[in-house]
Amino acid sequence: MATFVYKAIDTQGRAVADTLVAPDRAAAIELICGKSLNPVSLERREERPAGGWLARSGRVSKGEVEAFTRQLANLLAAGVPLSRALSILSREAAKPAAGKLWATVHDQVSGGMSLADSLSQHPRAFSPVYVAMVRAGETGGFLDVVLDQIATFRSREQELKNKVTSALLYPTILAVLASGIMVFLLTFFIPRFSQMFGEFGGSLPALTKTIVAASRLLVRYWFFLVLLVVLVVFALRRALSSEEGRRVLQRIALSLPLFGRAISRFALVRFARMLGTLVGAGVPLVASLRVAKEAIGNQVLADTVSTAIDEVQRGTALARSLEGCSVLFPRSVIEMISVAEESSRLDKELVRLAGTYEQELDRYLKMVVTLIEPALLFLMAVLVGTIVIGMLLPIFSLQELIR
């Protein structure tokens, strides 16, 4: 049962505001009408969950959303009505935060709202791509099929992201370790040597002077350097919050020597799998392209697909429309899509392409990591070695310094 706050007009035209308890929104409206009132507004009161701040701030995880999607698809495929299926899932949710969200969706759907519209009001749990796929399934009358496809897609998507993250984890650790060693040497090790050299007097080698100057700069002005890093992070976050800033940063990322290709292949895998999933579920091609474009995750590459969508709407074949997106679609992919269109196997071929290029992306990332690891180790050795040599050079000429 839930508590609702309502405003209504009675038979004499007076405004009435009160609360009532009902199992869902539809039942609440019936109760209001049963009191000879005309409802004006009806809102569900958010109950304070037990468990304090942690419970109130609980978020629904991606795994819970995936389980919800899969279970809802199974219930709908078994013939269970949508409202009843949502009620079952809200009662059987493993965590209170998830159960509360599913109950809210149930109440909104029971009150006459479409499932897609309800999910769109909870963007922290359901992405725009998720909502768009659900809307396509509701419109076409195959919601259970689309939900099952969404669950499969999200599972494969998470596997791909985990591969990318694990591939870049070790190089990131090496980079952080190298930075930590450099900061330690410049702030702790070198100042003690420079004090000793100052007691000896004499002129120091140019390399030693440069290292000592860098150490003094870091020790004296570390606050300003930290402030500079904070400002850079703030500027990047601000740029990512604006559409034009994201485009500029994404364009720079695509131009990077090693990572640009990985980004474009990752986008291709997401686009092909999403488009194949939607077309296989019976969603019209143009609607599928619009949803798949949002799944790319890179606005610069998505802009190239927008032109292709316009051409498909004018009757151009998909393969020919995608020819202008050479960064995202290699020539071989265009040819395979063209053959798939001619043989009416577009959905299966797109899913197969996604799997093939996912394997290629996995191999490419391993190759990149194989190249980056020794490069970072070499860079660490060069930096540390340069500092050590710069500190030892005056010792080699110690007698001259003493004189």
Residue 345 and residue 383 share a domain? yes
> What's the whole-model pTM score?
0.63
Average pLDDT over residues 200-226: 79
Domain tally, the chain:
3
CA dist 70 → 64, 260, 325, 329 (Å): 10, 34, 34, 31
Q: Is 163 among the domain residues?
A: yes
Residue 335 and residue 268 share a domain? yes
Q: Is 358 among the domain residues?
A: yes
Q: Is 98 among the domain residues?
A: yes
CA distance 105 to 113: 9
Which tops the pLDDT comparison, 349 or 50? 349
**pLDDT tens-digit readout, 30-57:** 788 778 887 777 776 654 443 333 333 3
Domain hosting 209: range is 141-403
**In the predicted model, what is the mean pLDDT of the chain?**
80
Residue 391 and residue 252 share a domain? yes
Looking at this protein, which amino acid is placed at residue 40? V
Q: Is 378 among the domain residues?
A: yes
Residue 245 and residue 152 share a domain? yes
State the burial class of residue 316 (Cβ atoms within 10 Å of its Cβ: 0-12, 13-18, 19+).
middle
Average pLDDT over residues 385-393: 80
- Helix ranges (DSSP H) in 141-258: 143-184, 190-200, 206-220, 222-241, 243-255
Residue 241 and residue 165 share a domain? yes
